[in-house]
């Protein structure tokens, strides 16, 4: 039974939402805070990359059947999802592929009237393709920059050719103390003099209390048009990684703050790894002024979820499988939650749309943000997620605009960017 299908009565049969609702949702300015790069790849791009590799005489890393599976966009268990990501990773191996995917993902979100996008990805080293974690990040940033220039929106200050802030030594040590000096990581002099790039040295080091006080460290672009998309990058720690690899990701995030990296995410197969491996690195990220968001409770894992809640990250993703006590702790924490309806229903983390915990949390006034998770793998868009929410939870258009407006407060954007985003949302509220 395909639980993804829900009609206006909240039943599992028939159309998910009316076309007119989807069209209205496409008109709304929206904020996307939970989108994995390689999960957002267009199925057609996967096919084209494989065709190019085949034309170049390479042996293909996937069979026809596996390709069909990747590009099918249907129900799949979480375990199947992670097998699928491994296949996608085996296909998207080159800098060119990564840049292309990043550019397409930005264009797709912009076309869906997303005005603020936080994209996330795990930096990957692939020596056989001459790829380091740094060059992987550069490829992602190149793709973002390309998309923004293609969208005719780019007046870039921070993606200048002066990369001197990245050429200084990175952060060393600090893992055990959970400390990391972001000024040094950004290549700034100990006295704080002479920022090499706009935004590089403006971030004050030290712990942060919540999203509102997270310094941006510079954005990827300065926009000429009020409605232009703002794109930021989060670096993900994959749960397969050990403490050293997790710390390396945090160090990279700190180094790349000057180019629009605003935070760190913990994601990956929830059946793998243990919290103790990453908590030190995540504390270092917080101390470096990076935003921290964690995938929590995607499967029932009460001890781990309790530790994650006790850590008090800036945001949490999913939180589908909580017992009563954890749900109560989450509520009283008021930690903003990134909720991905289609992803959770298709992977069977929740049984159906009407039963999704969005309904209860929204009704209780808990801060929630609608997100796509993996728009390519699950065949969705943010507008579609809004349309599903409108249908399953009977939300009116102004409630959806309000949802987007509140989402602005949970971003890792800087104060000026938030102000600009609020004014976009306010205009939508008046006119819809």
* Residues annotated catalytic, as ranges: 298
Q: Which is nearer to ligand 6MZ, 81 or 247 (CB)?
A: 81
Residue 38 in contact with ligand 6MZ, rule: CB under 6 A: yes
Q: How far is the CB of 394 from ligand 6MZ (least distance, A)?
A: 26
- Candidate ranges 30-38, 48-56, 179-187, 286-294; the one touching ligand 6MZ (CB under 6 A): 30-38
Residue 122 in contact with ligand 6MZ, rule: CB under 6 A: yes
- Candidate ranges 19-27, 36-44, 202-210, 415-423; the one touching ligand 6MZ (CB under 6 A): 36-44
Q: Which is nearer to ligand 6MZ, 5 or 89 (CB)?
A: 89
Q: How far is the CB of 250 from ligand 6MZ (least distance, A)?
A: 15
Residues 374-393 binding ligand 6MZ (CB under 6 A) are 374
Residue 230, strand partner residues: 116
Residue 273 in contact with ligand 6MZ, rule: CB under 6 A: no
HEC string of 94-144 equals: CHHHHHHHHHHHHHHHHHCCEEEEEEEECCCCEHHHCECHHHHHHHHHHHH
Q: How far is the CB of 268 from ligand 6MZ (least distance, A)?
A: 4
Whole-angstrom Cα distance, residue 282 to residue 277? Answer: 10
Residue 301 in contact with ligand 6MZ, rule: CB under 6 A: no
Beta strands per DSSP E along 319-402:
337-339, 368-370
The single residue listed with the structure tokens 């190149």 is 142
Structure tokens at 390: 């409108």
Whole-angstrom Cα distance, residue 239 to residue 306? Answer: 17
Residue 249 in contact with ligand 6MZ, rule: CB under 6 A: no
Q: Of residues 158, 216, 236, 391, which one binds ligand 6MZ by CB under 6 A?
A: 236
Q: Of residues 267, 305, 372, 381, which one binds ligand 6MZ by CB under 6 A?
A: 267
Q: Which is nearer to ligand 6MZ, 345 or 408 (CB)?
A: 345
- Contact at 8 Å (CB) between 319 and 305? yes
Q: Of residues 268, 289, 297, 313, which one binds ligand 6MZ by CB under 6 A?
A: 268
Q: Which is nearer to ligand 6MZ, 134 or 181 (CB)?
A: 134
What's the chain's Rg over C-alpha atoms?
20
Q: 48: helix, coil or strand?
A: helix
Residue 298 in contact with ligand 6MZ, rule: CB under 6 A: yes
Residue 373 in contact with ligand 6MZ, rule: CB under 6 A: yes
Whole-angstrom Cα distance, residue 155 to residue 143? Answer: 15
Residue 39 in contact with ligand 6MZ, rule: CB under 6 A: yes
Q: 281: Cβ–Cβ under 8 A, 6 or more apart, which residues?
A: 175, 237, 243, 246, 247, 249, 250, 264
- 171 CB-side CA count, 13 A: 28
Helix and strand counts by DSSP (H, E) for the chain:
17, 10
Q: Which is nearer to ligand 6MZ, 81 or 258 (CB)?
A: 81
Q: Which is nearer to ligand 6MZ, 124 or 420 (CB)?
A: 124
DSSP 51-76: HHHHHTTPPPSS-HHHHHHHTS----
β-strand pairing of 261-267 with 337-339: unpaired
Residue 85 in contact with ligand 6MZ, rule: CB under 6 A: yes
- Candidate ranges 32-40, 167-175, 198-206, 358-366; the one touching ligand 6MZ (CB under 6 A): 32-40
Q: Which is nearer to ligand 6MZ, 121 or 153 (CB)?
A: 121
Residue 343 in contact with ligand 6MZ, rule: CB under 6 A: yes
Residue 352 in contact with ligand 6MZ, rule: CB under 6 A: no
Whole-angstrom Cα distance, residue 34 to residue 20? Answer: 25
β-strand pairing of 337-339 with 368-370: parallel
Q: 32: helix, coil or strand?
A: strand
Residues 170-229 binding ligand 6MZ (CB under 6 A) are none
Kindly determine how many residues on this chain lie close enough to bind ligand 6MZ according to the rule CB under 6 A. Answer: 18
Q: How are strands ordered across the β-sheet holding 230-238?
A: 30-36, 114-121, 230-238, 261-267, 291-296, 315-318, 337-339, 368-370
Other C-beta atoms within 10 Å of 97: how many? 22
- Candidate ranges 31-39, 158-166, 246-254, 357-365; the one touching ligand 6MZ (CB under 6 A): 31-39
Residue 275 in contact with ligand 6MZ, rule: CB under 6 A: no
Task: Give which of 234, 253, 243, 252 is closest to 412, Cα–Cα.
Answer: 234
- Contact at 8 Å (CB) between 277 and 173? no
Q: Of residues 255, 295, 315, 420, which one binds ligand 6MZ by CB under 6 A?
A: 295
Other C-beta atoms within 10 Å of 62: how many? 17
Q: Of residues 31, 81, 203, 229, which one binds ligand 6MZ by CB under 6 A?
A: 81
Residue 347 in contact with ligand 6MZ, rule: CB under 6 A: yes
Residue 238 in contact with ligand 6MZ, rule: CB under 6 A: yes
Chain residues that interact with ligand 6MZ, rule: CB under 6 A: 36-39, 81, 85, 121-122, 236, 238, 267-268, 295, 298, 343, 347, 373-374
């Amino acid at each position: 039974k395909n639980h993804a299908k829900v009609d206006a009565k909240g039943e599992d049969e028939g159309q998910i939402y009316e076309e007119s609702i989807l069209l209205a949702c496409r008109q709304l300015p929206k904020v996307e805070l939970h989108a994995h790069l390689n999960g957002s790849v267009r199925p057609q791009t996967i096919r084209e990359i494989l065709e190019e590799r085949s034309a170049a005489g390479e042996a293909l890393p996937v069979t026809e059947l596996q390709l069909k599976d990747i590009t099918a966009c249907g129900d799949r268990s979480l375990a199947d999802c992670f097998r699928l990501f491994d296949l996608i990773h085996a296909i998207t191996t080159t800098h060119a592929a990564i840049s292309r995917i990043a550019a397409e993902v930005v264009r797709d979100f912009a076309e869906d009237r997303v005005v603020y996008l936080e994209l996330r990805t795990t930096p990957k080293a692939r020596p056989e393709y001459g790829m380091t974690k740094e060059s992987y990040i550069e490829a992602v940033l190149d793709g973002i920059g390309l998309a923004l220039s293609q969208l005719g929106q780019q007046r870039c200050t921070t993606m200048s050719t002066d990369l001197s802030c990245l050429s200084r030594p990175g952060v060393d040590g600090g893992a055990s103390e959970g400390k990391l000096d972001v000024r040094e990581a950004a290549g700034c002099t100990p006295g704080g003099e002479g920022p090499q790039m706009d935004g590089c040295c403006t971030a004050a080091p030290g712990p942060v209390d919540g999203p509102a006080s997270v310094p941006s460290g510079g954005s990827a672009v300065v926009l000429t048009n009020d409605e232009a998309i703002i794109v930021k990058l989060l670096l993900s720690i994959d749960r397969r990684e050990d403490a050293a690899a997790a710390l390396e990701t945090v160090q990279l995030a700190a180094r790349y703050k000057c180019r629009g990296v605003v935070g760190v995410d913990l994601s990956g197969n929830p059946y793998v790894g243990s919290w103790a491996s990453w908590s030190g690195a995540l504390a270092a990220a917080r101390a470096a002024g990076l935003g921290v968001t964690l995938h929590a409770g995607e499967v029932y894992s009460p001890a781990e979820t309790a530790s994650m809640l006790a850590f008090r990250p800036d945001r949490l993703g999913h939180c589908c499988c909580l017992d009563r006590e954890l749900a109560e702790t989450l509520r009283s924490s008021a930690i903003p939650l990134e909720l991905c309806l289609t992803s959770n229903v298709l992977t069977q983390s929740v049984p159906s749309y009407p039963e999704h915990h969005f309904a209860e949390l929204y009704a209780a006034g808990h801060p929630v943000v609608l997100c796509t998770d993996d728009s390519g793998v699950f065949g969705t868009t943010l507008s579609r997620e809004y349309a599903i929410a409108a249908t399953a939870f009977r939300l009116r258009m102004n409630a959806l605009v309000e949802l987007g407006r509140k989402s602005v407060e949970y971003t890792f954007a800087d104060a000026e960017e938030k102000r600009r985003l609020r004014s976009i949302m306010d205009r939508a509220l008046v006119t819809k």
